Chain A
Amino acid sequence: MIEKLQIIHPEMALFAATCIVLLIGLSGRSALRSACAPLTGVALLAAAWLGLQSPGADSELMQGMPFPGLLPYAKTLIALIGLLILPMLAGTVDRSYEKAVERGEVYNPMRSTRGEFYAFFMLSLIGVMLCATADDLIWLFLALELTSLPTYIMVAMSTSRLRSQEAGVKYFFLGAFGAAMFLYGFALLYGATGSTFLSEIREAMAEPGGAGPMAMLGLVMVIVGVSFKIAAVPMHFYAADVYQGAGTTVAAFLAFAPKAAGFFTLLILLGAVGWTHGPNGDALPPELRVILWVIAALTMTIGNTLALLQTSVKRILAYSSVAHSGYMLVGLIAGPGAGSIASNGLAAMLFYLLCYGVMTTGAFAAIAALERRAADGGREEIDSIEDLRGLCRVYPLVGWSMVVCSLSLLGLPPLLGFFGKLMLFTSAISAGEIVLVVVMGLNSAVAAFYYLRLAGYPLLEQRHDEAESPTLTPAPGRRLAACVAAVGVVALVVFISPLQRASHEATQLTPLPAVVEVKPASEAEVARR
């Protein structure tokens, strides 16, 4: 039994660190308090390493799971993107309070939020990892909520301004609404199949007539409910308001963690349904395919068109993250394909998640690295696209990170985003989803409009007024995160083949064992006899 814990070793490491961070975050000694972030970093490194050691497809423990090879890829990916986001969290909370303490104010643990901030950050990541590990509906629900609940609080505490608290509350209520939706879906699914275990649900669905209306309604509700996590239409409304209200650093985290959790959930649940329907026997059941199709097409289109006329960089990036969810859904629709890497839509989705995590973190980190004079005389994070003017000349590292990451989000070859998108395209073509590919292509073209603005303002425009222009924040970690992400966007291109192969192996679907038992006749049939 104890060896079963192997599958949650990374979570355990993170949780241990979470407990320590909670404690030392309250310490009266500032040196110990400031050890929170490094400790989180060490824990994430350990989690990444343990994630690599996670039991894979060849392990006994994973037999019966739909995706036996998923864990090493998923956990390492989550830990590493977390590690990328971590340096940019520096200076998000307690900045003014720590200054006051330095000036001689008496330290009051009640006013310090540092420990809980990093603890919530790790708890949320634990939630994402648990989503990928789940083999049971209850577990899945708890994991999803573990991902989201800390983020509600992180949003509220991310700045001292009122609008962050407003965003946090808004996010919480709407999140609860979404959670209710997919919980209802889970209940229906349990009602239809009689089990909460994914492996049993899978077998029940594979039986003739197993995917009945109730199970389908349940799945539809789950998909729509989880759409909240991935900010897909029709659950995308909150994204722009919440991202804008939250501090930039937390917005970056929101753009990745809940989204990853949502996609892992969809992957696992749809894996339980299987891509065995349709005329060629390689598609989702038609009703699921159609609603995912509609959601994907609407999500990318609405996301991109809403981003077009925005002038707030955070809102642009929020809508861009909506649009990217639409792209990734295409991979889910395409399914596991015929065996080659290029036709594996699930691998494309996972690979794109990696690309997206790096690119979007880089873009957020670049704007988080800058601040400007606020109306009340203090310093505030920049938000307007005007603040990006001439950045490449004044702060070349930050400016170029912004340019490279936006161009990669746009999908310009030879950057990382291009290869991610290419894989989605090839898998969708292989699955015969030509219309969806066209929609996606058109959307990529539309998206160029605002991504090129994000790249053009730093690169080509001139600054107007030096005094009013933004300056670097005192937290160098944010610059570091931006640069690392930008370098990753360029350098990971070299490792595309192994990464794609890894995502391909992670998404190998266990074939269902042939149904040998004869199903006992149902009551209705008995009555007919």
Chain B
Amino acid sequence: MSLWTHIPGAFSTLAATGVDAGVVDIEMGRPLFLLIPALPALAALLCGLYWALGVKSKFPAWTTVAALAGSFAVTLVAYFEIAAPGLTHVVHGFRWINIAFGAAGGERMLFVADFSLYIDSLTVLWMLFVTGLATLIALYASEYMSDDVGPGYCRFFFAFSLFVVAMACLVMGDNLLMLFLGWEGVGLCSYLLIGYFFKKPSAVNAAKKAFVMNRIGDLGLMIGIMLAFLHFGSLRYEEIFAQVAILQQDGGDLAWTIKAIPYLLLVGAIGKSAQLPLFTWLPDAMEGPTPVSALIHAATMVTAGVYLVARMYPIFLLTPESLTLVAWIGGLTALVAATIGMAQYDIKRIMAYSTVSQLGFMFLGLGVLTSVGAAFHVFTHAFFKAALFLCCGAVMHGFAGQLDLRKLSGVQFMKGWGIVGVAMFVGCINLAGLPFTAGFFSKDMILAEAFTTPGFTALGVIALLTAGITAYYTFRVYFRVFLGPQHFEPGDELHGHDEHDHDDSHGDDGEAKTHDDGHAHDFHPHPPGWAINTVLVVLAVGSILAALAYVFPRETGGWVKGLISTSSAAGAAHHDHEASFFGLGDPHKVMYYVSGVIALVGIAIAWWLHLAGRTTAATSRADAIKQKIGPVGRWAERKWYFDEIYDFLFRYPLLIFSHIFYLFDKLVIDGLVDLFGRSPRSVGAGVRPTQSGGLQNYAMGMAGGLAFIIVVAWLVVWRMSS
């Protein structure tokens, strides 16, 4: 707003305050790049305006798509000007916070934070897929949300645009405070969008759960940021990196408060990226509209944790033990989430658990020092997971909210569903890691590095096992829903059949419910229109082409590697070059074959259990196996009882405490407040009846007050002189 007026004078302010020191050659970028957050901010404002004006058309969607496309175009300019040549630019927006403080007589400290952008190749890589995917998904949502045209539509695109603004702050900010601003901003938008159907109790609960769980992580992040400021005297990346470089050269023992920083940042990353033990919010977040799940809870926001670790990699490298923890958290999350995903029936939830699992892979990659692998996996995953979610969304949209894989079958061959089926297939082969797909290459980099880095072989085995499970559950969805005999039962949201309110038609628990057969007879699934199909085609093609980024350009060893190696996230990996994959040779080479075979085995098992010889939608050979393993399947289906355990460990004790505190509050505090609050009033009521009595009392009070103040002043003088 008014603060933007400072932009023209940005350079002079910066030069005057002398904040241009740093180790890396950092140049001033063009103010043009401020448009990347500004355009979506404008779109958010306009959507708010449309809401106020009561616009009942698809205007908000087109505004958002146009603004996001603009952002994407500017990001492309940033790519060619800054990232491609491997430069780092800082674009100064305005001075945000400038406080001098310090105890009286003590040292004065300056707390300065600018609204500035730090643009290097890591930033640009992230912003490319954030703005690109956001544009596509906004286009998709223009059709997907069309049943809500009106105030809800404006609200949706308002939060959607605001999310991109916040994400841009998070990724592009030049200091940790901007990152924190964006971090909270994306959390807020995520909360707003998960709870979009706010008349549905399950959506509201999911939104609250996401918000509260993220608070736990945010607390860690906040303390981490405070410690960083305390130690480095600044929150700007370039100054922090400069000081970390000095610390690294000096060697020697670090203060425990510095060592604690990466762990605290990790707590934040765990919350946002849904890792163990804070992952349970993400599957519930699927209560939001599917485009939201695709953009926020699969492709972009949840990778903020990975970004945080990658951005602050120098600090993590300072205490390598923290990276070991990152690796173990990632590996275990990948396995646990994958096992839960195997047993789910709701296809959107399967995708959610798969997201948690893939994020685990990315953390594993960061932990075993292949930031390139992690970033590449973030990049490829963003494409194919968005495609998968949007396909699920198309199915959900077309079959009236049906998501149960036992109630859908053979969708691929229904009229008008071909593109969805093909896009789903492309997404599935990527997620399963079929050889020569993008997902295959990016996962391989992480797997191979796990075996190369000494001490991580056990994690490597876990990751390989997870890769197999991933291939199985991915194709379980594909074989059940898209292939096999054609059959469907619609869900309980009958779009387009009558005008009833979308929000009200939900059941209490939000799970897709079966309906009596009467509905099924008049129900016709409506296949997706041009907007959804276009987006799916683009994403499917993008997912395939992302594989090329592994190979080209050859000089830098792949596009992503070239980008990451010029950013602060370039890790100094200490590889064991003699490493061997169980005696078979260099893991980097062997891994292609091993993981390829594992993916194929997973797919084959899925085929045998879920497609071969299946004649109905509801049953398959897997049912027999489920019978045999007894309760284990049920345990997995109930998410290994994580929610129940958390309830038992945290929620119920907290509830009990809150009741105790409530009673304390009610009886003691309220009593005191009432006492303090009422006594002046009763005193007042007592002296009011006689006019002169009140006046004299007041005058007495004033005179007494004067006497009291003079005594205080005298005491101060007396204390000073003695």
| Interface residues of A, Cβ cutoff 8 Å to B | 166, 169-170, 173-174, 177-178, 181, 213, 216-217, 220-221, 223-224, 228, 233-235, 237-238, 240-241, 278-280, 283, 286-288, 290-291, 294-295, 305-306, 308-310, 338, 340, 342-343, 426, 429-430, 432, 434, 493-498
Closest 5 CB pairs of A and B: A234-B705, A279-B105, A309-B677, A237-B698, A287-B713
Contact (Cβ within 8 A) A235 B713: no
Report the Cα distance A295→B712, complex, angstroms.
11
Q: Which of B6, B708, B714, B717 contacts A234 (CB 8 A)?
A: B708
Q: Which of B94-102, B241-249, B431-439, B487-495 contacts A (4 or more CB under 8 A)?
A: B94-102
The answer to whether A342 and B104 have CB atoms under 8 Å apart is no
Residues on B with C-beta less than 8 A from A494 are: 1-2
- CB closest chain-B residue, reference A172: B695
Seed contacts A287-B717, A309-B678; 11 additional CB < 8 Å A-B pairs: A170-B698, A217-B713, A234-B701, A237-B697, A288-B713, A295-B709, A309-B674, A309-B677, A494-B1, A496-B2, A497-B5
Known pairs A224-B709, A290-B712; A170 contacts B691 (CB<8 A):
yes
**Given the known A-B contacts A220-B713, A224-B705, A306-B680, are A241 and B100 also in contact in the complex, defined by CB atoms under 8 Å?**
no
Cα separation A54 to B677 with both chains bound (whole Å): 47
In the complex, whether B676 has a CB less than 8 A from a CB of chain A is: yes
Chain A contacts of B6 at CB under 8 A?
A: 497
Residues of chain A contacted by B5 (CB below 8 angstroms) = 497
A234-B709 in contact (CB<8A): yes
**Interface code B149-165, partner A: CB below 8 Å = 1, 0 otherwise?**
00000000000000000
What would be 10 A-B contacts, judged by CB atoms less than 8 Å apart? Answer: A174-B699, A178-B702, A224-B705, A224-B709, A234-B708, A290-B712, A305-B677, A432-B102, A434-B101, A434-B103
Contact A287 B100 (CB under 8 A): no
Nearest A residue to B714, CB-CB = A287
Interface size range on B against A = 35 or more
Please tell me if B624 contacts chain A, counting CB pairs below 8 Å: no
A340 and B694 form a contact (CB under 8 A)? no
Contact of B712 among A278, A294, A306 (CB under 8 A): A294
Contact B695 A174 (CB under 8 A): yes
Given the known interface contacts A237-B698, A290-B712, the answer about A221 and B706 at a Cβ–Cβ threshold of 8 Å is yes
B694:A170 contact, CB within 8 angstroms: yes
Beta-carbon contact of A238 and B698 below 8 Å: yes
Please name all residues of chain B whose beta carbon is closer than 8 Å to the beta carbon of A173 when the two chains form the complex: 695, 699
CB nearest neighbor in A for B719:
A286
Q: Determine if B681 is an interface residue (Cβ-Cβ < 8 Å).
A: yes
Give residues of chain B (636-662) contacting chain A, Cβ–Cβ below 8 Å: none
Query: In the bound complex, how far is the Cα of B691 from the Cα of A3, in angstroms?
Result: 50
A235 touches B705 (CB 8 A): yes
Residues of B within 8 A of A338 (CB): 100
Q: Which residues of A contact B708 (CB under 8 A)?
A: 234
- Asked if residues A308 and B677 are in contact (CB atoms below 8 Å), the reply is yes
Tell me whether B716 and A290 are in contact (CB under 8 A): yes
The yes or no answer to B3 lying at the interface (CB within 8 A) is yes
Tell me if B663 is interfacial: C-beta within 8 Å of chain A: no
When A174-B698, A233-B705 are in contact, do A280 and B691 touch as well, CB less than 8 Å?
A: no
Contacting pair A216 B717 (CB below 8 A): yes
Cβ-defined contact, A340 with B100, below 8 A: yes
**Contact between chains at B713 and A290 (CB < 8 Å):** yes
Contacting pair A217 B101 (CB below 8 A): no
C-alpha gap A401/B713 in the complex (Å): 43
Give the CA-CA distance A306 to B694 in the complex, in Å.
17
Q: How far is the CA of A491 from the CA of B720 in the complex (A)?
A: 48
Pick from B104, B678, B698, B710: contact of A280, CB below 8 A.
B104
Cβ–Cβ contact A237 & B702, under 8 A: yes
Q: Is the interface of B mostly helix, strand, loop or mixed?
A: helix
Beta-carbon nearest neighbor of A238 in chain B: B698
Residue-by-residue, is B678-695 near A (CB-CB < 8 Å gives 1, otherwise 0)? Answer: 101100100010010011
Residues of B within 8 A of A496 (CB): 2
Q: Is the CB of B100 within 8 A of A291?
A: no
Known: A287-B713, A294-B712, A496-B2. A430 touches B100 (CB 8 A): yes
CB-based contact A217/B3 at 8 Å: no
Select which of B106, B674, B699 is within 8 A of A177 by beta carbon: B699
Contact among A174, A235, A294, A497 for B3, CB-based, below 8 A = A497
**B105 closest partner in A (C-beta):** A279
Q: Is the interface of A mostly helix, strand, loop or mixed?
A: helix
Question: Does B545 count as interface, using CB distance less than 8 angstroms?
Answer: no
B698's closest neighbor in chain A, by CB?
A237
Query: Are A217 and B710 in contact, CB atoms less than 8 angstroms apart?
Result: yes
Within 8 A of A (CB), among B87-114: 98-106
Among A228, A288, A497: residue with most chain B CB under 10 A: A497
Does the CB pair B712–A291 fall under 8 Å? yes
> Is B254 in contact with chain A by the CB < 8 A criterion?
no
Closest CB in chain A relative to B110 CB, distance in Å: 10
Residue B632 at the chain A interface, CB threshold 8 Å: no
Tell me, in angstroms, the Cα distance from A272 to B552 when the chains sit together.
Answer: 73
Query: Is B612 part of the binding interface, using a Cβ–Cβ cutoff of 8 Å?
Result: no
Asked if B673 is at the interface of the complex by the 8 Å CB criterion, the answer is yes
Complex Cα distance, B694 from A290, in Å, reads 30
Whether B510 sits at the interface, judged by CB under 8 Å, is no
Task: Take A220-B709, A495-B2 as given contacts and tell me if A343 and B702 are in contact as well, using a CB distance cutoff of 8 Å.
Answer: no
Determine the chain B residues whose CB is within 8 A of the CB of A233 once the complex forms.
705
> Which of B102, B106, B701 contacts A237 (CB under 8 A)?
B701
Which of the listed residues B3, B102, B695, B704 has the most CB atoms from chain A within 10 Å of its own CB? Answer: B695
Interchain CB contact under 8 A, B709 and A493? no
Closest to A225 in B: B706
Task: Collect the chain A residues with CB atoms within 8 Å of residue B676's CB.
Answer: 305
In contact, A181 and B695 (Cβ under 8 angstroms): no
Q: Judging by beta carbons under 8 Å apart, are A216 and B713 in contact?
A: yes
Q: Is A166 in contact with B712, judged by CB distance below 8 angstroms?
A: no
B710 and A220 contact, CB distance less than 8 A: yes
User: Is there contact, CB below 8 Å, between B100 and A343?
Assistant: yes
State the CA gap A330–B377 with chains docked (Å): 53
A491–chain B nearest beta-carbon distance, Å? 11
Closest chain-B Cβ to A314's Cβ sits at a distance in Å of: 14
Please state if B103 and A234 are interface contacts (CB–CB under 8 Å).
no
Given contacts A170-B694, A174-B695, A234-B704, whether A432 and B709 have CB atoms under 8 Å apart is: no
Q: Which residues of A lie under 8 Å from residue B691 when comparing CB positions? A: 166, 169-170
Interfacial chain A residues near B697, Cβ < 8 Å: 237
Q: Hey, which chain B residues are within 8 Å of A181, CB to CB? A: 702, 706
User: B709–A235 contact, CB under 8 A?
Assistant: no
- The one of A286, A308, A430 that contacts B101, using a Cβ cutoff of 8 Å: A430
Per the bound structure, the CA–CA distance linking A290 and B106 in Å amounts to: 19
By a CB distance below 8 angstroms, the chain A residues around B703 are: 177
In the complex, the chain A residue whose C-beta lies closest to that of B697 is A237
> Considering only CB atoms, which chain A residue lies closest to B717 in the complex?
A287
Whether B704 and A287, one on each chain, are in contact in the complex, defined by CB atoms closer than 8 angstroms, is: no
Using Cβ atoms and an 8 Å threshold, which residues of chain B touch A294? 709, 712
Q: Which residues from 3 to 37 on chain B have a C-beta closer than 8 Å to any C-beta of chain A?
A: 3, 5-6
CB nearest neighbor in A for B708: A234
Shortest C-beta distance, A161 to chain B (Å), equals 14
Contacts of B704 in A (CB 8 A): 234
B contact residues around A340 at 8 Å (CB): 98, 100
Q: Which chain A positions have C-beta within 8 A of B701?
A: 234, 237
Q: How far is the CB of A297 from chain B (nearest CB, A)?
A: 12
Considering the complex, give the chain B residue whose CB is closest to the CB of A224. Answer: B706
CB <8 Å contact, A228 and B677: no
Residues of A with C-beta under 8 A to B699: 173-174, 177
Cβ-closest chain B residue relative to A309: B677
Compute how far the CA of A288 lies from the CA of B677 in the bound complex, rounded to whole angstroms: 30
Q: Give the distance to chain A from B344, nearest Cβ to Cβ, in Å.
A: 40
Chain A residues contacting B100 (CB-CB under 8 Å) are: 338, 340, 343, 430
Which residues of the partner chain A approach B714 to less than 8 Å between Cβ atoms?
Answer: 287
Q: Collect the chain B residues with CB atoms within 8 Å of residue A216's CB.
A: 713, 717
